[in-house]
Amino acid sequence: MAKLRSEERVAARLPAVIPPPAATPKTEPHPHRNLDRAARAVVARMTGGVSPHSVIEAWMDWALHLSRSPGRQLELVERATQNATKLWAQTFDGIRHAEDKDCFQPQPYDHRFTHPTWDNQPFMLWKQGFLAMHDWWDAATEEMPGQSKRDADRIRFQMRQTLDLMSPSNFPLTNPEIIAETRKTNGSNLLEGAAHFTDDVIQTLTQTHKPAPKGYEIGKDLACTPGQIVFRNDLFELIQYTPQTETVHPEPILFIPAWIMKYYILDLSPQNSMVKYLVQQGFTVFMISWCNPGADQAELSLEDYRLNGVMAAIDAINAIIPDQKIHANGYCLGGTLLAIAASVMARDGDDRLASLTLMAAQVDFAEAGELLLFVDESQVSFIEDLMWIQGYLDRPQMTRTFATIRAEDLIYSRAVHRYFLGREDLPSDLLVWNGDTTRMPARMHSEYLRGLFLENRLSAGRFAVKGRVIALKDITTPLFVVGTETDHIAPWRSVYKAQLFTDSDLTFVLTKGGHNGGILSEPGHQGRHYRIGHRKSGALYMGPDAWARHHAPNAGSWWPEMTSWLQARSGGRVGPPAMGAPERGLDPLGEAPGTYVHQV
């Protein structure tokens, strides 16, 4: 008799439950509705997946509320007058001292005006005029009484995009750095830039995958920690890394990375690989390497990723290392999926997890940052129509979404350097990984956007698995939660909310850096710091800002803190396990990093 899956064994011991009432049968949509979906999908391709209805609705909300606010109108007129007065006073002030500060300052992350020639006229006037306009629109798009906060944020975001497009730094005749470089090279920078532009246009139109630059080959320079593929199904490959110590902790570590990018952000270069670091600390490490789905996998669901992904990996690890609990580590969307899987396991009495580590991962999406600006009913339906005709959300469509959040740096500054200064992108391991994007299956991405981002079901107690609602408070395993200070994808205050929705023993770390750079914080990395705090099981809740005030920063990397935390929850060291389990049908299938990581 075939061996039952662990979930089935647990379910068999549960008492019968009253089935929910049968749902009212849905009326099948008229076939002509497909014509509507196809038409919307065509528009979605033209707009990059942005719903025109959402844009128009936000502007109408802003305009109508401003029209009935005469005091606000006078305030904006006054601000425009003050900004103009400051601008012209600075321009015609005669000789300015070098230590004098400009009236209007760019944001700390905005590096478009760092070149010293921007302090010369007329470039200083153009720069200050641009920043003055930025300042006025920031005031004009502040939320008004009665106005939707989301609409106010959308208007501010859209105006920021429009102003960034018009920045004087984007044009050769108004950017002093481009002018100086053109004089220096007799115009060869513009010729080089034209060649770069042509290459990029061809790549965009043909959607060809750029090979990795020399020195950044996957499996040789990146994702190069030795290991074996010990399990494979249609959804993922499981990597077991070769031990590098004579003895290891008996509890293995399983990494669940996000499926929106390749797994090797956690095994990037040898000097900053979290996988290599943990293997060298005496842990047996496993890694899920997700497939890059195509149109034939459009019906993959979020439940498929849980059941045939996370749970299948746990089953395989249990076969390789029997009778040992697992330290599970989820990064980004992988952490959200891990929290769901852990909640289901807790509900069903499955106690195979020794601990949970959630890195830059959200369990509540009410404060999910600027990504929420792309999520409402109209927007999600628009993306669903786009995926309906493709079978997936394509790589460029996701890349544009993330790039627009930091357009001044990720789009325009890069374009200026590449097309007008004629400079090649300097290769780096993080840049190569960042360009190695994947697709998202239509059904799974729709469920993720609706169930988590749009309706926030997980923390609200409305997320059901197998017909039964799950609760994060059911999790009793220790938690190690990591947020990063400047994360614009999973803002740290949103990540911190794991403390609000769980009761188990929890350690929270807030580290310097962004969504990726804060996680890649290996020992020896210059200029790093972190805060760390411990909440005992059942302790009272402390808000994120109060928590930050009560926990002083520590210099250095947070990785040793994570290692110590894992060691304290692990048994005495033993001999390393075998690679795979041939006697249980888990023969090694090839060398790491496997085949799925190379799918394009």
Q: Are residues 171 and 234 in the same domain?
A: no
pLDDT for residue 284: 98
Element (H, E) at 464: strand 464-465
Residue 14 has pLDDT above 60, yes or no: no
Give residue 251's domain range.
227-368+466-577
Q: 240 and 161: one domain?
A: no
> Is 213 a residue whose pLDDT tops 80?
yes
pLDDT above 60 (res 592): yes
What is the rounded average pLDDT of the residues 208-226? Answer: 88
Could you tell me the maximum CA-CA distance found in the chain, to the nearest angstrom?
91
* Closest C-alpha among 503, 571, 567 to residue 537: 503
pLDDT at 5 over 60: no
Q: What is the model's pLDDT at position 93? A: 67
Strand 253-256 to strand 326-331: parallel, antiparallel, or no bridges (unpaired)? parallel
Instruction: Confirm whether 294 is domain-assigned.
Output: yes
pLDDT above 80 for 23: no
Give the pLDDT confidence of 326-346 residue by residue, as tens digits.
999 999 999 999 999 999 999
**Domains of the chain: total:** 2
pLDDT band of residue 249 (cuts 50, 70, 90) is very high
Higher local confidence (pLDDT), 270 or 28: 270
Give pLDDT, residue 111. 82
Say whether both 182 and 310 belong to one domain. Answer: no
Tell me what pLDDT residue 27 has.
62
Segment 384-403 shows an average pLDDT of 71
Query: Residue 152: inside a domain, yes or no?
Result: yes
**Residue 391 banded pLDDT, cuts 50, 70, 90:** confident
Phi, psi of 289 (to 5 degrees): -115, 105
- Shared-domain flag, residues 174 and 236: no
What residues contact residue 595 under an 8 Å CB cut-off, 6+ apart?
229, 237
3-class secondary-structure state, position 125 = helix
Domain match, 147 and 290 both: no
Q: Is 106 exposed, middle or buried (0-12, 13-18, 19+ CB in 10 A)?
A: middle
Range with the lowest mean pLDDT among 13-22, 37-46, 171-180, 528-537?
A: 13-22
- What CA–CA distances, in Å, run from 135 to 50, 104, 121, 293? 26, 8, 21, 44
Statement to judge: residues 179 and 70 lie in one domain: yes
- Find the helix or strand (DSSP H, E) in which 465 lies: strand 464-465
**Ranges assigned E (strand) in 223-377:** 227-232, 236-241, 253-256, 285-290, 326-331, 353-359
| 3-class DSSP state of 391 | coil
Average pLDDT over every residue of 496-504: 95
419, pLDDT greater than 50: yes
Which residue would you say has higher pLDDT here, 46 or 326? Answer: 326
Same domain? 272 vs 137: no
Name the residue with higher pLDDT: 153 or 474. Answer: 474
**What's the pLDDT score for residue 518?**
95
Same domain, 311 and 168: no
User: Among this protein's residues, is 332 annotated catalytic?
Assistant: yes
H/E run at residue 494:
helix 492-496
Buried b (16+ CB within 10 A) or exposed e, 443-467: bbbbbbbbbbbbbbbbbeeebebee
Single out the residue of 429, 418, 530 nearest to residue 482, CA to CA: 530
Residue 6 pLDDT: 45
In-domain check, residue 44: no
Average pLDDT in the chain: 88
Q: Assess if residue 300 is contained within a domain.
A: yes
pLDDT in tens, 344-368: 999 999 999 999 999 999 999 988 8
534: pLDDT strictly greater than 70: yes
Asked if residue 46 is part of any domain, the answer here is no
Same-domain pairing of 180 and 300: no
The pLDDT of residue 401 is: 65
- pLDDT grade for 415, boundaries at 50, 70 and 90: confident
pLDDT digits (tens, 9 = 90+) for 442-466: 899 889 989 998 899 999 999 999 9
Residues 135 and 261 in one domain: no
- The answer, yes or no, to whether residue 159 has pLDDT greater than 80, is yes
The answer to the question of residue 142 being in a domain is yes
First to last CA, the chain: 40
Question: 236 and 179 share a domain?
Answer: no
Residues 253, 128 share a domain: no
Per-residue pLDDT band at 39 (split at 50, 70, 90):
confident
Do the domain assignments include residue 104?
Answer: yes
Checking if the pLDDT of 399 tops 70, the result is no
Least confident of 89-93, 301-305, 308-312, 474-478: 89-93
For 48-100, the pLDDT digits (tens) are: 777 888 888 889 999 999 999 999 999 999 999 999 998 888 777 644 444 45
CATH of the domain at 322: 3.40.50.1820
Q: What is the pLDDT of residue 16?
A: 40
pLDDT at residue 252 is higher than 50: yes
Mean pLDDT score, 229-241: 97
Query: Exposed, middle or buried by CB within 10 Å (0-12, 13-18, 19+), for 245?
Result: middle
Q: What is the pLDDT of residue 381?
A: 81
118-154: per-residue pLDDT in tens?
A: 988 889 899 999 999 999 999 999 989 999 888 898 8
Other Cβ atoms closer than 10 A to 425: 13
Separation of alpha carbons 49 and 42, rounded Å? 10
Would 208 be classed as within a structural domain?
Answer: no
Q: What are phi and psi of 580, to 5 degrees?
A: 75, -170
Grade residue 210 by pLDDT with cuts at 50, 70 and 90. confident
Cβ burial 132-145 (10 Å sphere, 16+ → b, else e): bbbbbbeebbebbe
In this model, does residue 596 exceed pLDDT 90? Answer: yes
pTM of the complete model: 0.86
Q: How far apart are CA 507 and CA 476, in angstroms?
A: 13
